[in-house]
């Protein structure tokens, strides 16, 4: 009997001690989330050489040249391309024109992406698109190469299609068998007259991409 009372008392005392115990406080580990990157890699696709300067296939170069001239920036010859650094509203935009020729564009993209530690979501690739009428803009967060050799190589080197591309329409007004001549041909007079306004819009797309984000950029400019 005494043993039973002793056991009961011991058990009751244990429960009371447990009830009076302060609740455990689990502190959250220090927040190690890195601040959102404010560096952006803007890649204009094209081919180097005087014979390609004014061709439709070089619209990526042309957009970056327009922005650089407008903001009084200078391109420097660097590894795998020409680079200009543009600072705007606390962001740094690296404007890259690969010198690898179109078919090896991915090599330059990967190099500068790694060198400047730029996340995939902060990359914007500007390219021509035969499936869009002249000057039409389409911005997409991902997608296939659509038969474009520059995008094809970037997809291969980065091993992903999950990067933003800005497609600039050059239309498909060529006869059967003349696609290469058309793409590597100069703009016609009507296109030349309309280009400045389209290039102005294109330069705003770059700035909006970095300051307002992809969704707002697509909403504002797609189809314009």
pLDDT for the residue 35: 53
pLDDT for the residue 30: 36
Q: What is the mean pLDDT of the chain?
A: 87
**Residue 103 marked ligand-binding:** yes
Catalytic (active site) residue 57: yes
pLDDT for the residue 27: 40
More confident residue, 16 or 81: 81
Confidence of residue 146 (pLDDT cuts 50, 70, 90): confident
Asked if pLDDT for residue 58 goes beyond 60, the answer is yes
pLDDT (mean) for 58-67: 98
pLDDT for the residue 31: 37
Confidence of residue 174 (pLDDT cuts 50, 70, 90): confident
pLDDT for the residue 32: 35
CA proximity to 97, closest of 40, 54, 58: 58
Please pick, among 26, 28, 57, 148, the residue that the annotation labels catalytic. Answer: 57
SS (H, E, C) 55-123: EHHHHHHHHHHHHHHHCCCCCEEECCEEEEEEEECCEEEEEEEECCCHHHHHHHHHHHHHHCCCCHHHE
pLDDT (mean) for 164-178: 91
pTM: 0.83
pLDDT (mean) for 75-85: 98
Cα gap 99→181, rounded to integer Å: 21
**For the chain, what is the largest distance between any 2 Cα atoms, rounded to a whole number of angstroms?**
111
**Residue 52 marked ligand-binding:** yes
pLDDT for the residue 158: 96
Q: What is the dihedral of CA 142, 147, 149, 152, to 10 degrees?
A: 40
pLDDT digits (tens, 9 = 90+) for 44-53: 999 999 999 9
């Amino acid at each position: 009997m005494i043993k039973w009372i002793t056991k009961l008392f011991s058990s009751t005392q244990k429960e009371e001690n447990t009830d009076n115990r302060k609740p455990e406080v689990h502190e959250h580990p220090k927040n190690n989330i890195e601040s959102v990157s404010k560096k952006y890699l803007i890649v204009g696709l094209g081919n180097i050489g005087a014979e390609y300067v004014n061709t439709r296939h070089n619209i990526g170069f042309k957009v970056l040249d327009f922005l650089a001239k407008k903001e009084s920036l200078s391109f420097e010859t660097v590894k795998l391309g020409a680079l200009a650094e543009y600072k705007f509203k606390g962001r740094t935009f690296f404007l890259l024109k690969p010198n690898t020729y179109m078919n090896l564009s991915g090599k330059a993209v990967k190099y500068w992406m790694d060198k400047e530690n730029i996340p995939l979501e902060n990359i914007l690739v500007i390219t021509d698109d035969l499936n869009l009428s002249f000057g039409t803009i389409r911005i997409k967060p991902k997608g296939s190469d659509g038969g474009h050799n520059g995008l094809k190589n970037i997809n291969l080197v980065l091993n992903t299609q999950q990067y933003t591309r800005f497609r600039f329409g050059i239309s498909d007004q060529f006869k059967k068998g003349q696609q290469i001549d058309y793409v590597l041909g100069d703009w016609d007079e009507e296109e030349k007259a309309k280009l400045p306004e389209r290039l102005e819009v294109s330069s705003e797309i770059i700035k909006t991409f970095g300051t307002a984000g992809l969704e707002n950029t697509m909403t504002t400019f797609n189809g314009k």
